A and B are shown apart, each in its own frame.
Chain A
């Protein structure tokens, strides 16, 4: 059974940093590209960042470039999102998801909540 378990969320002050993790199991992690998708309270889904199977290619939503860094460790079956310079508008539930062959998201975790507040 495919499992994606996010962790690392919490409350952080504006300007602070957090590192999210996503532990994957039940599939060959290094066969899949991965992404982070977020949902702010009362809002819709927003793609944040993506990474290919070996970490050699990454992408970010234009508004987040320079503040967030995606990475992965295939030996640990883990995906990461380093978030710096956090702002109130980054408050959201952050999901990790596997990337399918038709540029869709096959499997998702349950998310980890990030709250940016003073």
Chain B
């Protein structure tokens, strides 16, 4: 089964940059997607196919993917960015075809 590992938590001051990593075996060969979850709200797709942003997602959110690590970068962090973030890939050999990372709680100081 394919495993995606994220740090449980990241703390960042307003206006600074937050980086959330997603580690997986040769993840650079896969398409990585990122979601934002806030309590009581529908999850939101932030980044798909490593670096693409859906319409309506601010440019402050960006993604990269290489080797064994994918990264979601949030620039100029705002209070409203406080949320849980999950990476996701598709893996045909996994017992879950769509694999999610362990999730990262971002706290804005």
Give the nearest-CB partner of A106 in chain B: B45
Give the nearest-CB partner of B91 in chain A: A103
A8 within 8 A of B: no
Q: Once the chains bind, are B49 and A104 in contact (CB under 8 Å)?
A: yes
Per DSSP, are chain A's interface residues mostly helix, strand or loop, or mixed? strand
For A, the interface residue count at a CB cutoff of 8 angstroms equals 26
Q: Once the chains bind, are A104 and B101 in contact (CB under 8 Å)?
A: no
CA distance A109 to B42 in the complex (A): 5
A47 within 8 A of B: yes
CA distance A39 to B84 in the complex (A): 12
CA distance A101 to B103 in the complex (A): 23
For B, the interface residue count at a CB cutoff of 8 angstroms equals 26
CB distance from B47 to the nearest CB of A (A): 9
Contact segment of B16-24, B66-74, B75-83, B92-100: B92-100
| A44 CB contact (under 8 Å) in B33, B40, B86 | B86
Tell me the chain A residues, 73-110 only, with Cβ under 8 Å from chain B.
95, 97, 100, 102-110
| Chain A residues engaging chain B, CB cutoff 8 angstroms | 4, 35, 37, 39, 44-47, 50, 59, 61-63, 95, 97, 100, 102-111
